[in-house]
């Protein structure tokens, strides 16, 4: 089984989700595209994960672009300091 996995370049779920995320942000090589494609043929969970990751990325980009022009996203200096203090406490 391990030889077959190595020869075909098959990947398991952990690697497939990494490839799905990489595809969104950086793109994949042809080999990685093939690996992800064949994995998703037999794995509903990873197929769904990729669809959800793409959708989430789209929603976040839209939300951030809308808020970028809004003054509500500008945090006060005091608020930033409180955040830093809370982080340092942990």
* 22-73 pLDDT, tens digit each: 999 999 999 999 999 999 999 999 999 999 999 999 998 888 787 666 655 5
Q: Which domain holds residue 76?
A: 2-89
Quote the radius of gyration of the chain (alpha carbons, Å): 20
Q: How far apart are the C-alpha atoms of 40 and 44, rounded to whole Å?
A: 7
In this prediction, residue 2 carries a pLDDT of 63
Q: How far apart are the C-alpha atoms of 32 and 18, rounded to whole Å?
A: 10
Asked if residues 46 and 17 have their Cβ atoms less than 8 Å apart, the reply is yes
Total domain count for the chain?
Answer: 1
In this prediction, residue 21 carries a pLDDT of 94
Is residue 10 pLDDT above 80, yes or no? Answer: no
In this prediction, residue 54 carries a pLDDT of 94
pTM for this structure?
Answer: 0.64
Strand, coil or helix: 90:
coil
In this prediction, residue 75 carries a pLDDT of 67
């Amino acid at each position: 089984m391990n030889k077959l996995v190595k020869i075909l370049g098959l990947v398991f779920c952990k690697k497939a989700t990494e490839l799905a995320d990489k595809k969104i942000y950086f793109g994949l090589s042809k080999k990685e595209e093939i690996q992800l494609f064949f994995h998703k043929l037999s794995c509903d969970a990873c197929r769904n994960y990729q669809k959800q990751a793409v959708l989430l990325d789209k929603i976040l980009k839209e939300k951030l672009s809308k808020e970028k022009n809004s003054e509500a996203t500008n945090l006060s200096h005091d608020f930033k300091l409180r955040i830093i203090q809370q982080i340092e406490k942990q």
